[in-house]
Amino acid sequence: MNFELTEEQGFIRDSIRDFAEREIRPLAKELDDKQEFSVELTKKMGEMGLFGMIVSPEYGGQGLDYISYIIAVEELARVDSSQAATVAAHNSLGVNPLYYFGTEEQKKKYVPQLCTGEALWGFGLTEPGAGSDSRASKTTAKLENGKWTINGSKIFITNASATISKGSTIQAVSDDKDGKKEFSAIIVEQNTPGFTAKTMHDKMMWRASNTAELYLDDCAVPEGNLLGKRGDGSKIMLNTLDHGRLSIAAMGLGCAQGAFELALNYAKERVQFGKPLSHNQVVANKLGDMALKIELARNLLYKACWLKDNKKPFAKEAAMSKLYCSEIAKQVADEGVQIHGGYGLMKDYDIERFYRDQRLLQIGEGTSEIQRLVVSRHIGCY
């Protein structure tokens, strides 16, 4: 076993950490307060090469391994989950389906522009009545006269309604005979008649990321906008979520690391009973446990990424990583607030934002309950 990062991976960690500290941290609180998605920061992240990191250079990407990509997401989340969410959702959910399942024509048309940070793409799976049960989707797509006519709606779709959003991949029921649904994945560009993307506001977390509701009202797209084969929509979307779980795990790991550092620094500076809080055994034990959980999470996630990079089965480890990293983010952020005391409840302190931001991680891209179900299936319970 070799636990060392390569020289390139170490350089990526250092450069992204420097970028996040220099460009993102000074703006994170203001963007969160204003619920403002930053096109400027997104383009700067694009210039850093953070979009299309695992995409082949043939299609405008960086051609890096998955561990390098996960490190980048981790370092962004260490400072601001909103910017990490933009990168993670775009790479794993936006680009990946097009890159892995698109025709050569589709890949050349969409992927290069999505690797620049000048354009974003959504992943239209979740509906008001279909979350964990993705096969409860009611959005329909009918093929007539060489066109798909789509009707339905989607909700909680990241990167789908920003000014630089260019479209979304939509799961729709393309046939329903005898109660057996056929699902297909269809490409829908932003300005297609009948397609409306509406930004959602007043979120508790990730307030500076873009989240949308999508409405499709007799939205017609060419037959050639089918992604993959007809009837493979559910397979494509669920395969994409396997990759997305690694991204969410990285966000959990980065969020936990950032919350831990905030708590540790505060504990060293805050004096109570004549000594720094960090000299109090109870507080020191809390910080020690936080460091332990983060170390375990990082090793589990990096192993899952190693399996992915080496073309080995990784779905079980991806579910485990997503589950564990998201839940330790919750635990570490909670203890971080506790160590801050009353100040941890005030927006002037970053730990308050970390506490809010971690909460989505146990819900998005498969709840903790669903991850436990996935793991139980992999170990032979069902």
pLDDT tens digit sequence for 303-339: 999 999 999 999 999 999 999 999 999 999 999 999 9
Active site residues: 365
* Interval 133-184: pLDDT, tens: 888 999 999 999 999 999 999 999 999 999 999 999 999 999 988 778 999 9
Contact 252, 245 (CB under 8 A): no
Phi-psi map region of 26: left, alpha, beta (phi>0 left; psi -120 to 50 alpha): alpha
Distance CA 243, CA 236 (A): 11
Q: How many CB atoms lie within 10 A of CB 19?
A: 20
Ranges of each domain in the chain: 7-120, 121-232, 235-378
Contact 322, 248 (CB under 8 A): yes
Second CATH level (architecture) for the domain 235-378:
Up-down Bundle (1.20)
Distance CA 237, CA 184 (A): 9
Q: How far is CA 321 from CA 11, 210, 368, in A?
A: 24, 25, 11
Contact 162, 120 (CB under 8 A): yes
Q: Is 196 exposed, middle or buried (0-12, 13-18, 19+ CB in 10 A)?
A: middle
Smallest CA-to-CA distance from 154 within 184, 129, 123, 124 is with 124
Distance CA 200, CA 198 (A): 6
For 121-232, the fitting CATH number among 3.40.50.11890, 3.30.70.100, 2.40.110.10, 2.70.98.40 is 2.40.110.10
Least confident range from 176-180, 295-299, 369-373: namely 176-180
Cα of 32 vs its chain's centroid, Å: 17
Distance CA 363, CA 242 (A): 15
Distance CA 219, CA 216 (A): 5
Contact 175, 151 (CB under 8 A): no
Contact 86, 263 (CB under 8 A): no
* Phi, psi angles (nearest 5°) of residue 357: -65, -30
* Interval 202-230: pLDDT, tens: 999 999 999 999 999 999 999 999 999 99
- Mean of the pLDDT values across residues 291-295? 98
Smallest CA-to-CA distance from 31 within 70, 75, 86, 69 is with 86
Across 20-37, b (16+ Cβ under 10 Å) vs e yields beebbeebbbebbeebeb
Q: For the domain 7-120, what is the CATH code?
A: 1.10.540.10
Q: From start to end of the chain, where are the E strands?
A: 120-124, 140-144, 147-158, 165-177, 180-189, 195-199, 211-222, 226-227, 271-272, 275-276
% of the chain residues with pLDDT over 70: 100
- Mean of the pLDDT values across residues 258-278? 97
Are both 7-120 and 121-232 of the same fold?
A: no
Helix (H) or strand (E) holding 9: helix 7-19
- β-pair partners for 226: 186
How much is the pTM? 0.95
